[in-house]
Structure 1
Amino acid sequence: MTDEPERASRTAKPARRLDARSLRGLAHPLRMNIFELLRLDGPATATRLAERLGENTGTISWHVRHLAEHGFIEEETERGTKRERWWRSVDVVNELNTADFRDDPDTRGALSLYLRELAQQYFSRVVNYFSEDWDDQWRSAGTVSDWSDLRMTPTQLAALNAELMAVIARHTPAPDAEPRPDALPVVVQLQSFPRKERGTG
């Protein structure tokens, strides 16, 4: 799995597999929120991030440095000054394979926290979409759907995910492509997973 639905653009971006150290560096609610803001909304200073997140600048600065130390974000030196440092997300795909940490009790807590916070971020994005005022054209273009009548083997599920990601890749513009004037940022959240069967008796 990835920490974002970014795998579709892997042809344009390098990828790195999260290890125990980098996972522990990211697995904190505030650091994950900072990282998400920088990924979705672009570069920002600690002051601007603090305003968005309702935290004090000192706390944000500490977590920003922590994210930079673990390679998730970097300073945008061409924009910053001695008094005001700008930060941006590093343009790579962060891949997480939960099986890597199955037998590592020291990392189990960080993995659990990371996955809970990631699910909360996905949930919050949907709630925000529902609560925002969109015109009819955008409202009818978006969707939140689910299908629960599939039965698959692990191989079939992996193939389904690969096909869906290939579709997203076809719609992902090249990094140097000029965006259309009527285009807005779009988030695609792909969530496909097995469900434990529960009897009715």
Structure 2
Amino acid sequence: MILMKDEEPFLLDDPARLKALAHPMRRLILRHLNIHGPATSTTIGERLGAKTGTTSYHLRQLEKCGFIEEIPERSAGRERWWRRAESPRDMRAPTPGQLAPEDRPVLEEFHRVGFEEDRALLERFPEAYRRDPDWAKGSRGLGRMTREEFAEFFDAYIALLLKYSPRVQDAPPDARPLYIRMFAFPADEP
């Protein structure tokens, strides 16, 4: 296991980048590149059931924001190969107060689309657990923490996730991509 040196959290406070990540097709494209590696707009379109023109457009938007990059040595003519760009592994969403009021709806859409994706994954969990419980784990809990303890807990969670999630090129050959989600909010509010 290669341990990554501590990385500073990257605040995703650029509204254009947030908007790029709030689009469902772009999220699917990024997920595809994360899981399956480099691809063309044609292969992505086939996999996602989208037209090549649609995937090409969204790939260009992701490239503009620095989330993906072309692989020049694999590209030829009209066929362009894309991969995830080297980016911070600890990207965090801003709080509403860290954005201008006019940009806050983009943050809300970013979260809405992300939680829709999470709900769909949650629906897949029981079948994944039946198929192979060694590769499907779940946890639920109720904790009591101060604001400071909660911030420390979240930072420790991210550090643990980074420790056991090397970049794809550094992962052992038998490593599998896993969906990992964590959310927490006060239990004493409606």
TM over 0.5: yes
Q: Is the 8 A contact 1:14 1:92 kept in 2?
A: no
Structure 2: runs of 5 or more not aligned: none
Distance in 1, Cα, partners of 2:83 & 2:167: 19
TM-score normalized by structure 2?
Answer: 0.80
- Consecutive unaligned residues in structure 1, runs of 5 or more: 1-8
Instruction: Return the letter of the residue paired with 1:110.
Output: V
Q: Distance in 1 between matches of 2:53 and 2:173?
A: 39
Structural RMSD (CA): 2.7
Query: Pairwise mapping of residues 1-201 of structure 1 onto structure 2 (< 5 A)?
Result: 11=5, 16-18=10-12, 19-93=14-88, 94-98=91-95, 99-101=97-99, 104-132=100-128, 135=131, 138-148=132-142, 150-173=143-166, 177=170, 179-181=172-174, 183-198=175-190
Distance 1:59 1:176 in 2: 29
SS at match of 2:82: strand
Distance 1:165 1:13, change over 3 A: closer
Instruction: Determine if contact 1:50/1:56 at 8 Å carries over to the other structure.
Output: yes
CA distance in 1, matches of 2:106, 2:41: 24
**Under a length normalisation based on structure 1, what TM-score does the superposition of the two structures give?**
0.77
**1:5 — aligned with what?**
none
- Residues 164 and 60 (structure 1), Cα distance of their counterparts in 2 relative to 1, 3 Å cut: same
The C-alpha deviation readout for 1:94-138, integer Å capped at 9, x for no partner, is 33212322xx23212211111111112223233334334865xx4
- Percent identity over the alignment is 31
